[in-house]
Amino acid sequence: MSRRGFVARGAAAAGAAALAGPGVAFGRRNGVADLIVRNGSVVAVDPSVPAAAAVAVTGGLITAVGSDAEVMAYAGPGTEVVDARGGTVMPGIHDGHSHPFSGGQLLTAPSLNYAILDIPKFLKRIGKLLAKSAGQEPDGWLNVSLWDASAMDVLPTREDLDSLDTRRPILVYAIDGHIALVNSRALKLAGIDARTKDPPGGEIVRDRRGRPTGILHDNAINLVYRLIPPPTTEDDADALAAGYGVMAKMGITTCLHAAADETELKALATLAGRGELPLRPHVALLVEAEEARDPAAMLERVADLRSTYAGPGFEIDNLKLFFDGVIEYPTQTAALLEPYRVNEGTKKHPHWVEGRDRGPTYWRPKVARRAIVAADAAGWQVHVHAIGDRAVRTALDSFEAAIGANGRTDNRHTITHLELVDPADFRRFGELAVLASMQMQWAERDSYTIDRLRGYIGKGRFRNVYPAGSLKKAGAMLCGGSDWPVDPLLPLRQVEMAVNRTADEVYAGYPKPLQRSEGISLPASITMHTRNSAYQLHQETLSGRIRPGLAADLVVLDRDILGVPLTKVSNSTARLTTVGGRITHRKGI
């Protein structure tokens, strides 16, 4: 198959003078380049761009793409020339679903660092964190993140935390952002007891006597989290800068803040005011179901936030709606069309029976339709968290209602995660022009998909887990996102796993692919995480491709990812990242 427009082999492009003339993509033919990247394998993600080994950048724009000899003609005394050493030169990664503010906060905060722990090991780690900050006894909060709650067979309770030698209030936050654990001191400070009602969109988990266990789901977490003394806006800006710095190191040039509140907006506006941002941020403002009961008031609030904090260098253009939670046992807050199954046997000898629980409804369909119709009419792009097939259907129904009410717009509404989709809804994505934002590093056989999901939904539904291939075949545009810091930030792992859907060395016990037929090609995966995600963020005329006239938002990798074994793609590292021609990351080049 022809690679024209997708990849240019470095050696072939560098050594073939016959590629000169009409075979070379040139922008401005006059002037001296500010930056030239040569001796690379250019992945243009653009069918109009021929094979090439080098890229010239002038004034922040791509001005020439061709062989080394052709592009070096743009060099002058002040041109910086970077040797790609045969590595891939491609558009920067566009992360269409991330949480860089949270990620930055976690870089220096107390953390369990994604460790898989049983209760004794969990308590030992919490104890060590308490010891490190012993000077904060007796009233300083211990706020711990990156707890892998779904990897635990039995969740700890407040009584487990109460056994630790401390008087401090403790909050431990799970990596999925939907579950937390607190001790009795924290419950008391929050005024949570057996009489406290569940907040809208959240749950206080209780024991058989109705007493809080210390486990909180979704919006119930805020009952405690709001008590923790907040950092200053300057502190928050520093944290966001740290988050962006990590993203630049990973080759990311554009991102979506997938659920921002006013605190996050203040941090972003403050950081932007300090100078140039290291990437191009877009912001999705978090909207709660309760406020959406009055769509006019909802739109007034978000419009006020946008007008208050809008500034150069970033866009406030999305609304984020959480339609459900997470699907894995024991949380099971994803909304399903049919109930979760229940194991009445043992882990070793399971006996599955039909259950009664289909998961909570965070957004009632009538409220969702009215809110999305109103947001669409006002020109907002809507970004819906939907993991279960019922949440996905509610979102699609709402977007269809928006088309019926407002006609077809170019708002590019998006459903993100899509862990379980009913096959009857595959074709609706293309028909409704709804974008599918997927986190493909989750599409593997591991403890989540096998031990904590497969049995609870059964073989029939399990075939439709992370159905990227089926969605693409049905006409959906696939877009990529990391959901960092829910997972470690490894965008090239996402690119690889969209293809092979195979566990890495961490999960050696699960060697088979997760529905191999749902994999897509490597070129399609690269497109998903660059050009398609640029389209999602209304940036396709600016970035996402290597083409003269577009912004020089580029990443240079340490290897030719189309020339190495697929399993080596995830090991790639970014040697150089540029945004508008400005170098935001450099290592070893």
Q: Could you give the C-alpha distances from 230 to 143, 234, 235, in angstroms and in order?
A: 12, 11, 10
pLDDT for res 505: 52
pLDDT for res 54: 98
User: From start to end of 387-536, where are the E strands?
Assistant: 414-417, 435-438, 478-480
pLDDT for res 24: 56
**Strand bridging mode 179-182 / 212-218:** antiparallel
Residue length, the chain? 589
* pLDDT of the chain, 589 residues: tens digit per residue: 333 345 443 433 332 222 233 345 655 455 799 999 999 999 999 999 988 999 999 999 999 999 999 999 999 999 999 999 999 999 999 999 999 999 999 887 899 988 999 999 999 999 999 999 999 999 999 999 999 998 898 999 999 999 999 999 999 999 888 999 999 999 999 999 999 999 999 999 999 999 999 999 999 999 999 999 988 999 999 999 999 999 999 999 999 999 999 999 999 999 999 998 999 999 999 999 999 999 999 999 999 999 999 999 999 999 999 999 999 998 999 999 999 999 999 989 999 999 999 999 899 999 999 999 999 999 999 999 999 999 999 999 999 999 999 999 999 999 999 999 999 999 999 999 999 999 999 999 988 999 999 999 999 999 999 999 999 999 999 999 999 999 999 999 999 999 999 866 544 567 789 999 999 999 999 999 999 999 999 999 999 999 999 999 999 999 999 999 999 999 999 999 999 999 999 999 9
pLDDT for res 108: 74
- Structure token digits, residue 366: 């009538």
pLDDT for res 376: 98
Cis check: omega of the bond before 138, within 30 degrees of 0: yes
The answer to whether the CB of 72 falls within 8 A of the CB of 54 is yes
User: Could you give phi then psi for residue 266, rounded to 5 degrees?
Assistant: -60, -45
- Tokens 């073989």 label which residue? 459
Amino acid at 19: L
Amino acid at 36: I
Cα separation, 281 vs 362, whole angstroms? 28
The architecture (CATH level 2) of 10-92+552-586 comes to Roll (2.30)
The answer to whether the CB of 65 falls within 8 A of the CB of 52 is yes
The answer to whether the CB of 288 falls within 8 A of the CB of 201 is yes
Q: Could you give the C-alpha distances from 326 to 117, 287, 399, 452, 506, in angstroms and in order?
A: 20, 18, 22, 11, 22
Cα separation, 589 vs 586, whole angstroms? 7
Cα 511 to the center of its chain, rounded Å: 25
Q: At what angle do helices 262-274 and 295-309 cross, to 10 degrees?
A: 20
CA proximity to 506, closest of 439, 447, 573: 447
**Strand bridging mode 341-343 / 80-83:** unpaired
- Structure token digits, residue 129: 């964190």
**Does 10-92+552-586 match 317-536 in CATH topology?**
no
pLDDT for res 17: 27
pLDDT for res 12: 31
Torsion of CA 557, 563, 568, 571, to 10 degrees: 0
CA proximity to 574, closest of 257, 276, 245: 245
CA proximity to 414, closest of 356, 441, 443, 375: 375
List the domain boundaries for the chain. Answer: 10-92+552-586, 317-536
pLDDT for res 180: 97
Quickly name the fold that domain 317-536 has: TIM Barrel (3.20.20)
- Tokens 């990798």 label which residue? 557
E strand or H helix at 521: none
Cβ partners under 8 Å of residue 365, min gap 6: 394, 397, 398
pLDDT for res 18: 26
